[in-house]
Amino acid sequence: MRTRSTVWSLVLAGSLAITTMPAAVAADAPPAAPAAKAAATTLPSNVAKSRTPGGRLLMLPLVNKTYALSSGWGARCIPTRGASTFHHGLDMSAPDGAPIYAVAGGTVTHVVQPTSSVSGQIVVRTIVDGVSTQIAYLHSWNPGKYVKVGDRVKVGQRIGDVGASGPATGPHLHLEVWTGGYYQGTSHDPRVWLEGYGLPVTNRATADWTSPAPTSCTYYATANLNLRTEPATTSTVRATLPPNTTLANKPGVKTNGYIPVTVRLATGTVKGWVHADYISQSKTYHLTKSTVVRQSAISTSKALLTAPAGASLTPVQVSGWWTKVVVYGVTGWVPNSVVAAGL
């Protein structure tokens, strides 16, 4: 059994043996390189920055004057299939691929790859003047390009690129701010939060297209749509509504994919729930069968294209037995009999 003094004697002997190698051997080794310093994040000079009362450095996520504010935080009419009726973020329209910078340093907690119905997501947890805060950056095409879960990021570090993944009408950054947990705590208006800390997100935009939250929305059924008593597929069906039935809605509530609506039927006004995947802010139409779209309202006129059954179209006018439509970007005429409501 070796005593502590014996062990230390062996260690010291080994150390001495190493340090007393022949000079010729030591001289053949190259001099040790100085220890490398961790690379610092160079903050972009053309992005607004500020410090909180507690001294925390923050900055805007996009370059000054390269974005427009397109949709604000709050209740809204659903703009596209799969979108929400309460907008938890601030939309900043910008060129596809534009760099997204971290508003604050912190730890990456979520990196969600996009699907046709889910936006690409990056969420960074940070502490701002003692408050645990989650800042989310949505709609990147490849949110894992620069960061992964667990990474520590610095303020001003490039963490993503602007995209249009998931439910989106064009490339933009959807920015969210939460305290108390991402979609578990309190959602804050990002514009108010940023400008409260001295970041002029409105002033540095090229335009502000946002509008006050609506108090009502009008939708139209895009298919034969069940009006239910509760927001669940197991609830009672009050009525089946034909395509293009008008639906009145108070925005801000969406439960299990359903929204509450008021509908005027022949029997009177009825309230209930409809699934938001089968509504639109405008009336919809489609072709019931494969059809030749013609240059004028006569069967012998020039054929412009043949559109397949189910093709979505926009009616322009009706003339006798013919309807002028726009289908696949082409304006022409089709028989009235092949135009039907819905998608």
Assign 42 a pLDDT band (cuts: 50, 70, 90).
confident
What pLDDT shows up at residue 43? 86
pLDDT tens sequence across 232-248? 999 999 999 999 999 99
Domain-terminating residue out of 229, 263, 280: 280
Between CA 302 and CA 205 the distance in angstroms is: 48
pLDDT tens sequence across 270-329? 999 999 999 999 999 999 999 999 999 999 999 999 999 999 999 999 999 999 999 999
Domain-terminating residue out of 252, 280, 308: 280
Contact 293, 277 (CB under 8 A): no
Give residue 244's identity as a one-letter amino acid code.
N
Cα dihedral angle (159, 161, 167, 170), rounded to 10 degrees? 150
Tell me the mean pLDDT in the region 137-156: 97
Contacts 24+ apart (CB under 8 A), 44-47: 44/99, 44/101, 44/156, 47/101, 47/156
Provide DSSP, 101-163.
E-SS-EEEEEEE---SSS--EEEEEEEETTEEEEEEEE--S-TTTT--TT-EE-TT-EEEE-B
Residues 261 and 318 in one domain: no
What pLDDT shows up at residue 200? 98
What pLDDT shows up at residue 290? 98
Residues 55 and 85 in one domain: yes
Left if phi > 0, otherwise alpha if psi is -120 to 50, otherwise beta: which for 333?
beta
Give the total number of structural domains in the chain.
Answer: 3
Assign 35 a pLDDT band (cuts: 50, 70, 90).
very low
pLDDT tens sequence across 47-104? 999 999 999 999 999 999 999 999 999 999 998 888 889 999 999 999 999 999 999 9
pLDDT tens sequence across 162-180? 999 998 989 999 999 999 9
What pLDDT shows up at residue 36? 37
Residues 224 and 336 in one domain: no
What pLDDT shows up at residue 40? 55
What pLDDT shows up at residue 262? 98
Beta bridge partners of 101: 158
What pLDDT shows up at residue 29? 37
pLDDT above 50 (res 14): no
Distances (CA, A) of 234 to 227, 229, 328: 12, 10, 38
Range of the domain at 153: 49-196
What CATH code is carried by the domain that includes residue 337? 2.30.30.40
